[in-house]
Every structure is written in structure tokens, then in C-alpha cells.
Amino acid sequence: MGVIAKPGVGFGLNKRAWLEKGTLFIIIIAFVIVFSIASGGKYATPLNLINIIVAASLTGIVSIGMTFVILGAGIDLSVSGIAVLTGISGALMIDSGIQWLLACLLMLAIGSFIGLINGLSITKLKMVPFVTTMAMMNITRGIARTMSNGKTINLPEKVTFFGHGRLFGIIPIPIIMLALCLLAGLLILLKTTYGREVYAVGGNKRAAWLAGLKSDSVITLTYVISGFFASLGAVLVISRLQSASSTIGTGLELDCVAACVIGGTSLFGGEGGVGGTILGAILIAMINNGLNITGVTPFMQEIAKGLIIFVVIAIDAIKKTWKQD
């Protein structure tokens, strides 16, 4: 079973991984300085920095689930569709009289079940992850639009706790949720046998199989985890908006992939972790916030985000080539 212990590189405990995280911290600080100067000091205020982390909470939470999938050498483009479908489903449940917390639990169950369908399709039917999850994204969005008839479903004020509540009247609940999800992800990946198996399967699926690991089960569970976190993100977003519509989460899948890769998770699998992913999500939120404050048009924001994703993925591919050489 030596293959399980081998991927220690992916846990973020080696010098190179720490160097990458240190570099990411430096980049974050550099952006704070640049945007602060460009905005005349409006950017680095405590209130705005808190707003940035709150804004990063949705992408960060969903990206934690995405990290598991990518570590297993997969991809899940259905997260935005899952978020929309579970969000609409939860809103309709609440509108019909079901209690808010029960609706949240049912939303998590629906998201996990969709993730299970993705995982089984990929492992048992040998379907291509990219195409499978992209199809599931369209299916779930289509079902959500049909259920809501394309309309926005407004929700009562009682649902706003997760989106606008504060612990002790100080710490925003979205930040608490993000921290708890990060802790859960770290514990699973670093302290459990399953976490080591994810790295092993993602690093070398054949070697993991020869070592006796049930690779299909490991991979399937990563998609279940991704579906769970996507639906948890839906709980957060409908609570924050106090409504649900078929437009929530648009482009979420690309933001999540970007957060993972920026944070050091390799698209080739077996390397990375949720700690870097959260830093990546915060960096994306910082860029969006900074460009808004400095008056950059939304079109230029799309270009900037696309360039960042392009460059980071190119660097990841180059690093993979160097390793093979």
C-alpha cells in the first residue's frame, strides 16, 4: 500500500508547495497595494476587505468540492447547474411551507445525489468527465428553469441568516461557513485514509488500482462531495439574495476551476489542496472588487479573469511537462 503514502507532495507539506502558497500570499498583498493606490485608499479599508472575503465565500465553498474532483484527475462543470437546481428546489420548498432548515438539508441531499449520478456515469459507464458534467450542467439548469417557469422566487426574511447573519454581531456567517468548510476539507484530505486515496488515485490511477485501492469508489465519492458543496453554496446564495432564480451561479464553474488552479491544484490530478484553493477564491474576489472600485468595465473584468485563468493553466501544463522530462 505504499502508493497511499507517496502523494505527500499533494498535501502541501513540502517546500515547493509552501513556496507556491507564499508566492500566492505575496501576489495577494501586491494586489491590495496596487488597488489601494488606484482607488485612493478606498480598497484596503477593513469593511471592504471583509466584503471581499464574504464575496469569496460562495466560490470558495463550491471550490472545495471541486478540489476533491480535480485532485482525483477529474473535472466537474455541473456545479453551477447543481447550485441553480438546488437553489430553486429549496426556494419552492420554503414557498410551499417546508421549514427553512429542513429545506436546506433536502437541498444538500439533492446536490449529493446529482454528484452521485455524475460519479457513477464516469466510473461505471466510462463517460468523459468534461462532457458528462457539462451535459449535467445543462440538464440541471433546464430543470430549474422549468420548475420556476423562468421566474424569480422571493423568500421570507427568516432565510437570510446564512447570508447576512453575524456571529456575536461581528463575524459574518458566510465567513464562518467558509472557515468550517475549509477545516472539513483539510481534515478529510490530510487526516483520513480516503484523503490519501484521492491523492493516490489522482496521481496514478493504475498504480493505485494495483495497490488494491477501489479507484472507482474513490472517484465517485469526489463527485458526491462536489455536489454536496455546490448545494451548500446554493444555500448561502439564496439566503444572501433572499430569492432564487435560474441566473444564480452563472459562470460559477469557471471561477471554481480558476480558484483551484490558482491555488496550486494541478488539473492533471494528485497535487494541491483546499488551503490554496481558498486563497485562489479570495484572489479572484479581490480582483473583481478592485476592478469595480477603480471603475473598470465588466467587459474588461472578463478579459482580466480569462487572462489569469489562461496563464495559470499554461504554467500548470508547463510544470507537468518539466516533470515528465
β-pairing verdict for 166-167 and 153-154: unpaired
Inter-residue contact 201 to 72 (CB < 8 Å): yes
Q: Pick from 45, 44, 59: which is nearest to 174 by CA? A: 59
Q: Is residue 2 part of a domain?
A: no
Q: Is residue 10 part of a domain?
A: no
Cα–Cα distance between 287 and 204 in angstroms, integer? Answer: 35
User: What confidence score (pLDDT) does residue 15 get?
Assistant: 58
β-pairing verdict for 166-167 and 171-172: antiparallel
Q: Is residue 3 part of a domain?
A: no
Q: Is residue 67 part of a domain?
A: yes
User: What confidence score (pLDDT) does residue 116 get?
Assistant: 98
Which CATH number belongs to the domain containing residue 104 in this structure? 1.10.3470
pTM: 0.90
Q: Is residue 198 part of a domain?
A: yes
Strands (E) across the chain are located at 153-154, 166-167, 171-172, 243-244
pLDDT tens digit at each of 325 positions of the chain: 444 444 444 444 455 666 666 777 888 888 899 889 988 888 989 999 999 999 999 999 999 999 999 999 999 999 999 999 999 999 999 999 999 999 999 999 999 999 999 999 999 999 999 999 999 999 999 999 999 998 999 999 989 999 999 998 889 999 999 999 999 999 999 999 999 999 999 999 888 888 888 999 999 999 999 999 999 999 999 999 999 998 888 889 989 998 998 898 988 899 999 999 999 999 999 988 998 898 888 788 788 777 877 877 777 677 667 766 5
Domain count, the chain: 1
- Retrieve residue 102's grid coordinates: 429542513
User: What confidence score (pLDDT) does residue 183 get?
Assistant: 97
Q: Is residue 259 part of a domain?
A: yes
Q: Is residue 324 part of a domain?
A: no
CB count, 10 Å around CB of 244?
30
Where on the phi/psi map is residue 83: left (φ > 0), alpha (ψ -120 to 50), or beta? Answer: alpha
Q: Is residue 28 part of a domain?
A: no
Q: Which domain holds residue 200?
A: 47-314
Phi, psi of 75 (to 5 degrees): -150, 145
